[in-house]
Structure 1
Amino acid sequence: MPNRVLIIDDDKELCKLLKKCVEKEDITAELAHTGTDGLKLALQGNYHLIVLDVMLPEMDGFQILEKIRSISAVPVLMLTAKTASTDKVNGLRSGADDYLTKPFVVEEFTARVLSLIRRYTTLNTGSMEETNRLSFQGLIIDLDTRIVAIGNKQIELHAKEFDILCYLAKNKGKILTKQQIYEEVWQEQYAYDDNNIMGYISKLRKSIEPDPNSQTYIQTVKGVGYRFSREV
């Protein structure tokens, strides 16, 4: 599958030019011209890089970057027409991976895009091979070290919370009953229906969900059980 880039900039002609640049490198590019549209795509799609302008209609680049970083470690290359060093500092401190000031040479843009994607994909591939990880949209579960991370933030989980999360994640998209979860995690026969599983699921959501009520990762299937979202 080709690498995918999202370009968020209100300059439509520049977007077309940048799209042509990355497509020459066999990279698929999607475009958004407002902050709202860009954020929607950024949170829904699985991209290898996001190119993000600072000055945008409806939402600025810093607001979008903050939302992205709350759930994802995808590389972000920020663009701006401003020359003030404070913009660059603010962007990098907010989680941007690189910065380009307009006007820039398209060859430099392409080189930075390739470098960021290469670093991101190499790191992810190496991590999967070396440490047995499960990676989803903004969520990483390290099965060897029992470490869970959202973006760059490490999440502390109770042992049983981690085991439940792993079991659900390994069965992504599959509906699992309370009985199945209990017998897998506790290694005991499930004799009755209590609130034990519900309590652990509630704590898990508070730890890993961007919004505990959104069910981005762990979904409740009423009357049946739980499912790890197939969309992440």
Structure 2
Amino acid sequence: MQEKIRVLVIDDDQELCSIIERYLKNADYEAQFAHTGAGGLKMALAGDYQLIVLDIMLPQIDGMSILTELRKQSVVPVLMLTAKNEESDKLRGLQLGADDYLTKPFSMAELMARVDSLVRRYTKFNQTAGAEKVLKLTHVSLDWQTRMVLLNGKPLELTSKEFELLYFLAAHKGQIFTKRQIYQQVWGEEYAFDDNNIMSFISKLRKKIEPDAARPFFIQTVRGVGYRFNQEG
């Protein structure tokens, strides 16, 4: 018998949680809930979940702080919920390691579509990475299981999405990918963001990995096409 996929929802709106619970269970997910930031963080760090749905505005500890602590130990997909419709909040969440976001109010159909998409991506990406868990290149070593990155033998701290982006490019070094292809492979869904979002992730990754971010050695831009990981990397 196949084990159910476990989803943790951290939101202080108990009425909304009751509705979400009904939809998750109807889709055959196992749902657990926390209504405070402190309780949610404790459950997230202690439990084995395949997805976390996380509200930003929470009592005790806010969602951004929870995400920051969670990303120190876990790469579980995180879907952020926010009542704010400000681009800066969304971008901050993505930069801290969130995988997707929804702005309240939202429909249950949209929520479930994003839940399904994130679970599929996480499962697919883990299965793909499982074939070669450790990538050992000339200057860079990446361990999928531990999320450890070594640059010239020294550990490098990356967010969850930065790691997955680097792992994908490094696993296909020398191969050129468009922004759309990168998004579809790493985010696991149709390309929905404008080019500036992909460029922002590439820029932040370059600042961490490149000896000179102004003259990238590892992640190269192929003008008019996209990006590739240097064959000599």
TM-score (norm 1): 0.59
Q: Paired residue for 2:56?
A: 54
**Tell me, which stretches of 5 or more residues in structure 2 are unaligned?**
154-233
Are residues 1:4 and 2:6 paired?
yes
Q: Paired residue for 1:91?
A: 93
> Is the partner of 1:103 in helix, strand or coil?
coil
Q: Distance in 2 between matches of 1:11 and 1:123?
A: 32
**Tell me, which stretches of 5 or more residues in structure 1 are unaligned?**
134-141, 159-232
Q: Paired residue for 2:143?
A: 148
TM-superposed deviation, 1:126 = 2.1
Q: Paired residue for 2:19?
A: 17
> Is the partner of 2:98 in helix, strand or coil?
coil
Q: Are the aligned partners of 1:50 and 1:77 in contact in 2 as well (CA < 8 Å)?
A: yes
Counterpart of 1:122, as a letter, is: K
Q: Distance in 1 between matches of 2:143 and 2:151?
A: 7
Q: What is the RMSD of the two structures over their aligned residues, measured on CA atoms?
A: 2.1
Q: Distance in 2 between matches of 1:5 and 1:85?
A: 26
Q: Paired residue for 1:66?
A: 68
Counterpart of 2:149, as a letter, is: Q
**Residues 17 and 155 of structure 1: CA distance in aligned 2, closer, same or farther (over 3 Å):** farther
Q: Are the aligned partners of 1:70 and 1:150 in contact in 2 as well (CA < 8 Å)?
A: no
Q: Are the aligned partners of 2:142 and 2:148 in contact in 1 as well (CA < 8 Å)?
A: no
Q: Are the aligned partners of 1:18 and 1:106 in contact in 2 as well (CA < 8 Å)?
A: yes
Q: Paired residue for 2:46?
A: 44
Q: Distance in 2 between matches of 1:31 and 1:143?
A: 37
> Is the partner of 2:149 in helix, strand or coil?
strand
Counterpart of 1:54, as a letter, is: I
Q: Distance in 2 between matches of 1:151 and 1:104?
A: 35
TM-superposed deviation, 1:156 = 6.3
Are residues 1:80 and 2:82 paired?
yes
TM-superposed deviation, 1:70 = 0.7
Q: Paired residue for 1:104?
A: 106
Number of residue equivalences: 148
TM-score (norm 2): 0.59
Q: Are the aligned partners of 1:80 and 1:101 in contact in 2 as well (CA < 8 Å)?
A: yes
TM-superposed deviation, 1:127 = 1.8
